[in-house]
């Protein structure tokens, strides 16, 4: 199948060619023709499947005829995070470069007045996070009665983040006749309820089963002692494996994102942190640095990293088992994108047994445990002191350290081996 058969215009095909895409992904092949025919779409697809282009490409062609009026955008795309909204805007710029479509990004962290000026000029494509859009609506600066196409992207994430009441309100403010495109990696019952009532005879496209993870991702579980210090040590070992080009390290809480990032930096790793406490401009800058390989490791929270489109991430490291099993699917979906292969590690301590059981149930399969053939005892090598390195405060409680390094009598497994790339410390008894 080639893009030529999907019914897209020549100018869009030319932009696709410039983007370097040879053939449509599964969701693109299925969604583009139906969207061009004006049908509602329910796409169950995770990021990394090419879903952004599956809605932006046909929208560009549909919207390239007609003109926008002040404060009455012609289409609206709702995204759960600012980063994701900014990425969709980038896609519009890339694929719509041969058109004169106007686009406005309504996200927090940018002055209202600047956004209002842009809205006044008329907008073909409005990309927004629900909160900021609601703010503009309540100020009377944007009206939704001119919307011809609505996209709700990452609907399940909107639900997780508590944006769903806003999404429902926004959907209810829409004109009766409009085309609706919904995308979600999973279909929790609240999302299903809304799509059942709101979409009209949608074309349903499922590119992977709701709980499945892309087959291009190798997944490994590493059982680690119940101590964050040990986890950080294991993590450092993994990061120095020779096949690790770059990676995203996910933590459940902002607090841990900061601790892990600080620890990695103090050990000389080229790492930075991405979480919701950072100013929008800083987040974008860090993200760009990561995309441009100026930063090798990004330590991130789920919310900040949701939907990030970074094509070349070789590894994802789950510093913890996520509280919400669906987050795992999203986290590891940062690697193995667009047909490339990737590797995801999950570090789990016995304390996380409950979350791990939930995750295994959700995935419907056990994640392969990395085990050493014969765990060997190895003398701890003390690295030469580096006076220039900033000191990281680790848990220096000698009892805790003794416990971590003690021969095991509990039932967690010794850390693991990894085929030919076994960092020595992973073979040490804990």
If one asks whether residue 12 binds ligand AMP (CB under 6 A), the answer comes out as no
Please tell me whether residue 362 binds ligand AMP under the rule CB under 6 A: no
Closer to ligand AMP by Cβ: residue 231 or 337: 337
> Least separation, in Å, of the C-beta of 31 and ligand AMP?
11
Count Cβ atoms within 10 A of the Cβ of residue 292 and give its class: 0-12 exposed, 13-18 middle, 19 or more buried: exposed
Q: What is the rounded distance in angstroms from the CA atom of residue 132 to the CA atom of residue 280?
A: 13
The residue written with tokens 């995203």 in the block is 248
Please identify which residue in 53, 221, 271, 426 interacts with ligand AMP, judged by CB under 6 A. Answer: 53
Give me the DSSP letters along 372-391: -SSPPP-PPPPPPP-TTSPP
Residue 91 Cβ, how far from ligand AMP at the closest point, in Å? 7
Q: CB-wise, 42 or 68, nearer to ligand AMP?
A: 42
Binding pattern for the stretch 326-355 against ligand AMP, x by CB under 6 A and - elsewhere? -----------xx-----------------
Does 425 bind ligand AMP (CB under 6 A)? Our answer is: no
DSSP string for 389-425:
SPPP-----HHHHHHHHSPP-SSSPPP---TT---GG
Buried b (16+ CB within 10 A) or exposed e, 65-79: eeebeebbbbbbbbb
Q: Which stretch binds ligand AMP (CB under 6 A): 33-41, 51-59, 215-223, 276-284?
A: 51-59
Minimum CB separation from ligand AMP for residue 50, in Å?
3
Among 148, 309, 326, 327, binds ligand AMP (CB under 6 A): 309
14 binds ligand AMP (CB under 6 A): no
| 49 in contact with ligand AMP (CB under 6 A) | yes
Residue (309 or 352) nearer to ligand AMP, CB:
309
Nearer to ligand AMP (CB atom), residue 28 or residue 184: 28
Please say which residue, 173 or 314, places its beta carbon nearer to ligand AMP.
314
State how far the Cα of 72 lies from the Cα of 382, in Å rounded to an integer: 65
DSSP codes joined into one string, 102-162: -EEEE-TTS-HHHHHHHHHT--SEEEE-HHHHHHHHHTT----TT-SEEEE-SHHHHHHTT
- Chain contacts with ligand AMP (rule: CB under 6 A): 21, 24-25, 28, 47-53, 309, 311, 337-338
């Amino acid at each position: 199948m080639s893009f030529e058969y999907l019914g897209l215009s020549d100018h869009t095909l030319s932009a696709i060619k410039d983007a370097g895409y040879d053939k449509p992904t599964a969701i693109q092949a299925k969604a583009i023709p139906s969207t061009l025919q004006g049908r509602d779409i329910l796409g169950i697809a995770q990021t990394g499947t090419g879903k952004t282009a599956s809605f932006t490409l046909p929208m560009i062609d549909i919207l390239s005829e007609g003109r926008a009026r002040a404060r009455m955008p012609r289409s609206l795309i709702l995204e759960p995070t600012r980063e994701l909204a900014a990425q969709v805007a980038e896609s519009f710029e890339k694929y719509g470069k041969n058109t004169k479509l106007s686009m406005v990004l309504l996200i927090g962290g940018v002055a209202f007045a600047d956004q209002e000026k842009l809205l006044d000029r008329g907008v073909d494509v409005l990309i927004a996070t629900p909160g900021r859009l609601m703010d503009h609506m309540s100020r009377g600066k944007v009206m939704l009665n001119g919307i011809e196409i609505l996209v709700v992207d990452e609907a399940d994430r909107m639900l997780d983040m508590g944006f769903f009441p806003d999404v429902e309100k926004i959907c209810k403010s829409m004109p009766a006749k409009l085309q609706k495109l919904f995308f979600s990696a999973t279909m929790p019952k609240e999302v299903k309820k809304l799509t059942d009532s709101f979409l009209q005879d949608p074309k349903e496209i499922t590119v992977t089963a709701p709980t499945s993870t892309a087959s291009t991702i190798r997944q490994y579980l590493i059982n680690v002692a119940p101590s964050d210090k040990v986890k950080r040590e294991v993590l450092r070992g993994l990061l120095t494996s020779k096949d690790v080009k770059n990676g995203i390290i996910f933590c459940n809480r902002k607090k841990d994102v900061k601790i892990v990032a600080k620890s990695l930096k103090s050990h000389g790793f080229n790492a930075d942190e991405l979480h919701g406490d950072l100013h929008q401009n800083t987040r974008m800058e860090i993200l760009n640095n990561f995309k441009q390989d100026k930063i090798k490791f990004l330590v991130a929270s789920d919310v900040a990293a949701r939907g990030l489109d970074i094509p070349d991430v070789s590894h994802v490291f789950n510093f913890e088992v996520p509280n919400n099993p669906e987050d795992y699917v999203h986290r590891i979906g940062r690697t193995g994108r667009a047909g490339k292969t990737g590797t995801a590690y999950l570090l789990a301590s016995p304390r996380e047994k409950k979350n791990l059981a939930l995750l295994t149930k959700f995935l419907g399969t056990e994640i392969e445990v990395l085990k050493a053939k014969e765990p060997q005892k190895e003398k701890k090598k003390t690295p030469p002191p580096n006076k220039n390195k900033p000191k990281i405060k680790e848990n220096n409680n000698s009892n805790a350290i003794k416990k971590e390094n003690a021969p095991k009598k509990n039932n967690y497994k010794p850390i693991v081996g990894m085929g030919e790339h076994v960092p020595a410390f992973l073979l040490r008894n804990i």
